[in-house]
Structure 1
Amino acid sequence: MQNDIKPFNDMASILSNPILNTDSYKASHYLQYPPEASAMFSYIESRGGRYDRTLFFGLQMLIKEYLCRPITPAMIGQAKAFFAAHGEPFNEAGWRYVVEHYAGYLPVRIRAVPEGSVVPTHNVLVTVECDDPQVFWLTSYLETMLMRVWYPITVATQSWHLRKTIRAYLEKSSDDLTQLPFKLHDFGARGVSSAESAAIGGAAHLVSFMGSDTVLGVVAANHYYNEAMAAFSVPAAEHSTITSWGRERETEAFRNMITTFGKPGAIVSVVSDSYDLFAALEVWGTELKQAVLDSGGTLVIRPDSGDPRTIVLQTLRALEASFGSTVNSKGRRVLNSVRVIQGDGVNPDSIEAILAGMDEAGFAADNIVFGMGGALLQQINRDTQRFAMKCSAIRLGDEWHDVHKDPVTDAGKRSMKGRLTLLVNRHTGEYRTATLPLAWDDRTVEGDWDEALVTVFDSGKLLVDVAFSEVRKWAHAGEG
């Protein structure tokens, strides 16, 4: 047995061990179910929250990373040693059964709504079932890992709703809707808790947008969703690259950006408030104006401090005074050769306030790009959309029984019961949660409703490997 145990200082093996990717108390649960239990069924839902609809995304990443590799004797040995020292019982026989009868692959069936689907809250999004009496408890054991799908869903949901907000202002004030995918840029990599969060959350944002500086998020979208390149960026200055020239040479630092990166069709972003934003705007509009025009590119000014709504309008007005503007067909003004990116204090409320203020002032939404950091990838949690995974049915012997919770102290935590599925109306697109039995073959159900859930994973096999382009099509199918 000692040969099975990997050292506990090998964090890579620990993090890749599905047996340890759980809560401590889960290790004891196999002893707590009724002795005649033979199968278990659970589901995941958003029980409401900030938004009334959720954009489903991210399960494919979790399945590929954690469930498509087999349990090994070494993993079992490692987990046995940990739980013995940790004070919890360990179901060694159950895990060895998985290795011996399923070659280490978990005999679990996962069904889910297609990634990119926008589903009203209070509906089942994922179901998990194990019907092998020897290891039926795996359904609940996987809750900890699978429940983390709340994170990419919530990021994707927030970005989807922000896209709707920005689109509305573009439709009102702009002649060019093609710029929409680049209007909200991911600045969140340094504000998240881990590299994994940057990857998962960064990928989720890209369902609705195509601009990102979160490298790991772009890589994750490419890797897990079969995409050549999911997002793009542009050369941009930060305070260190400007202030390293010294205050007296700030103009030279600005000129270097245009000389180095300015070319026809290029976009160059320059932070301009390292010392005095208004003095910098004066320099851009006088001494450096011709260099900007001659470059043939677009200069994007980043004010990085002050009240966002006020500063954006002050910056736009200063740039308009220097570079001029053109009135579009909506009667709004579009700056010539220059734009603004606001990356400080950006959140759903400030985006709405800035766009509203610009519209009131007669500026088209063309003139602004948003860079969103902590509020995009970090200022959310599981309760933002009140996600939960609950057991809703258990088979005792040969008969299924409904399971649910209904606490008198919080009706909002009432769970659904029975073996569940999600139905979609083939005419209206409306969703509703229904109770099985329905065939597992996704057959058409009676009337105008079809099953929306599809089997995406079964006993170690990923059965649906969706492309990122398809996720985006699902998410934005209703756009013009």
Structure 2
Amino acid sequence: MYTSNLNNLILNSDSYKTSHWVQYPTGSEYLSSYIEARGGDYKVVFFGLQAFIKEYLSTPITHQDIDEAETVIHAHGLTFNRAGWERLVDKHGGYLPLRIEAVPEGSIVPVSNVVCQITNTDPEFYWLPSYIETALLRAIWYPSTVASVSHYCKKVIRHALEKSADNSESLIFRLHDFGSRGASSHESVALGSLAHLVNFAGTDSMAALVAASRWYQMGNDMPAFSIPAAEHSTMTAWGRDGETAAFANMIEQFGGKNNAFSVVSDSYDLWNAIDNIWGDALKDDIKNMGGTLVIRPDSGEPAKVVREALERLAVRFGTRLNSKGYKVLPDYVRIIQGDGISPQSLGKIIDVVMKAGFSAENITFGMGGGLLQQVNRDTMNWAMKASAICIDGVWKDIYKDPVTSHSKRSKKGRLALIKDDNGQIKTIKIDDLNTDTANLLRDVYIDGKLLIEDNLTSIRERTGW
């Protein structure tokens, strides 16, 4: 029985790729491919390439990897380019002879534009750019999509705060990542949660903290924060008759000057919890504790529940009108809605709340599956396509243009990304790039070396943090 290593880059591909090296025309020397998001509802926030390069392209392929891959691929019923991989190890020390260009991470780019381009640097390995498509495209589409969704949500929340709050200083804490348990794998959590932190500074996914340090030079700097919070088990463990004692214990354990803590309050009857426990039995304790209680509803129709919760809290604790004319609860009580949040429902909740006269500053959101898991490659129609090939020293454009789906038409030629005279980002052929116009694509990786290393802080700045 064969054994294999999940970190074997040769096996980090689709099965059909193993037979492609003999399918290109005789005389093939170089292949240029690009990655783009072809559509969707969001602008692209490019992110994740550096993590992939550090994790997978910075370790050389070995003869052991080749032996292992050959065993697996032959047993799988396919042909294997052993001579090509051995040549790669012997000639290049196992590092991939590739040039990867990309926009700086954190760049915001309209869809249907090149964000990454890959070309082999040694003519013997014309088959290599396409071979790593599976791994490279996946490494880009997932974190970039999460970052794009998160950035869209930030835009919605920012607009609401600008309209209904005295300031937007709390914006980076208004969308908290709750997605760790709902993600498909630990690595998905690390990548997706870290992508969210391009836009926000709140997460309950500790894998993202490790990922930031491992891949994006955070060192001892903390990229995100959380607060103590209850779950249903810690509340229901006290029994239904002990709910008041459970809530009181949260105040005793976590209350205090400048402290904030969250308590899930719908274990039995959210309205009773707001009206009679928080708003009556424990009202003075909340007012005098010096910190902020964040009440968490966790069931029901989100917009309706949040609005009613705010209205009931207003009756019990009162409100003030801010400079924009919207109602604000006292600083010691707030709401976090973490159930049923998506980019669409978030906007709906905010609209309902503001129509009821409440400022968006009363609410924080927690987003789980809608952030890390309810995305796929088709959310933004990501694709990597070959656009140019050099045969016997001559470059020529290649493309696809299916008569059955013109939306899948691919770009032609070796590409560049520019800002035109009107400041609009657009993709052009590299041959059309003049000396006065900067190419927004920059070399990130050449022949095994990471050429530019970004930290999360600089990436955040590019998004308009």
TM-score, normalised by the number of residues in structure 2 = 0.97
Q: In the alignment, which residue of structure 1 is the partner of 2:50?
A: 60
Q: In the alignment, which residue of structure 2 is the partner of 1:331?
A: 325
Contact 2:297 2:305 in 1 (8 A): yes
Q: Distance in 1 between matches of 2:2 and 2:240?
A: 51
Contact 1:445 1:451 in 2 (8 A): no
Shift of 1:33: 0.7
Matched, 1:195 2:181: no
Unaligned runs of 5+ in 1: 1-6, 439-443
Q: Distance in 1 between matches of 2:272 and 2:353?
A: 22
Q: In the alignment, which residue of structure 2 is the partner of 1:441?
A: none
Amino acid in structure 2 at the alignment position of 1:123: N
The ranges of structure 1 where at least 4 consecutive aligned residues each deviate by more than 4 angstroms after the TM superposition are: 7-10
Matched, 1:104 2:94: yes
Identical-pair percentage: 51
Q: Distance in 1 between matches of 2:2 and 2:115?
A: 36
**Local SS of the residue matching 1:255:** helix
Q: Distance in 2 between matches of 1:363 and 1:403?
A: 56
Q: In the alignment, which residue of structure 2 is the partner of 1:81?
A: 71
Q: In the alignment, which residue of structure 1 is the partner of 2:430?
A: 436
Q: In the alignment, which residue of structure 1 is the partner of 2:364?
A: 369
Shift of 1:317: 1.1
Contact 2:34 2:385 in 1 (8 A): yes
Unaligned runs of 5+ in 2: none
Deviations 1:104-139 (A, max 9, x none): 100000000000111011111000000322111101
Q: Distance in 2 between matches of 1:60 and 1:342?
A: 33
Contact 1:394 1:403 in 2 (8 A): yes
Within a 5 Å distance, the mapping from 1:75-474 to structure 2 comes to: 75-148=65-138, 149-227=140-218, 228-281=221-274, 282-336=276-330, 337-425=332-420, 429-437=423-431, 445-447=434-436, 449-474=437-462
Q: Distance in 2 between matches of 1:157 and 1:221?
A: 18
Contact 2:203 2:225 in 1 (8 A): yes
Q: Distance in 2 between matches of 1:257 and 1:334?
A: 24
**Local SS of the residue matching 2:199:** coil
Q: In the alignment, which residue of structure 1 is the partner of 2:18?
A: 27
Contact 2:209 2:222 in 1 (8 A): yes
**Local SS of the residue matching 2:438:** strand
Shift of 1:28: 0.4
328 and 113 in structure 1: CA distance in 2 versus 1, 3 angstrom threshold: same
Contact 1:182 1:369 in 2 (8 A): yes
**Local SS of the residue matching 2:97:** coil
Shift of 1:218: 2.7
Deviations 1:367-389 (A, max 9, x none): 00000111111111101100000
Shift of 1:196: 0.8
Q: Distance in 1 between matches of 2:321 and 2:151?
A: 29
Deviations 1:276-324 (A, max 9, x none): 1111112101111111122100000001111101100111111111111
Q: Distance in 2 between matches of 1:59 and 1:105?
A: 17
8 and 203 in structure 1: CA distance in 2 versus 1, 3 angstrom threshold: farther
Deviations 1:197-247 (A, max 9, x none): 111110111111110001112321232111221110000000000001111
Shift of 1:428: 5.0
**Local SS of the residue matching 1:185:** strand
Amino acid in structure 1 at the alignment position of 2:36: E
Q: In the alignment, which residue of structure 1 is the partner of 2:38?
A: 47
Shift of 1:8: 4.5
Amino acid in structure 1 at the alignment position of 2:211: A
Contact 2:174 2:364 in 1 (8 A): yes
Q: Distance in 1 between matches of 2:410 and 2:75?
A: 35
Amino acid in structure 2 at the alignment position of 1:82: V
Q: CA RMSD in A?
A: 1.3
Q: Distance in 1 between matches of 2:182 and 2:33?
A: 33
Shift of 1:431: 1.0
Shift of 1:436: 1.9
Q: Distance in 2 between matches of 1:8 and 1:284?
A: 61
Matched, 1:37 2:28: yes
Contact 1:200 1:220 in 2 (8 A): yes
Deviations 1:386-432 (A, max 9, x none): 0000011111011111110010000000001111111124x754211
Q: Distance in 2 between matches of 1:108 and 1:189?
A: 34
**Local SS of the residue matching 2:60:** coil
Deviates more, 1:118-127 or 1:314-323: 314-323
Deviations 1:2-32 (A, max 9, x none): xxxxx8445xxx2111100000010000011
**Local SS of the residue matching 1:147:** helix
Contact 2:307 2:353 in 1 (8 A): yes
Q: Distance in 2 between matches of 1:454 and 1:430?
A: 18
Aligned length: 460
Q: Distance in 2 between matches of 1:33 and 1:9?
A: 31
Shift of 1:460: 0.6
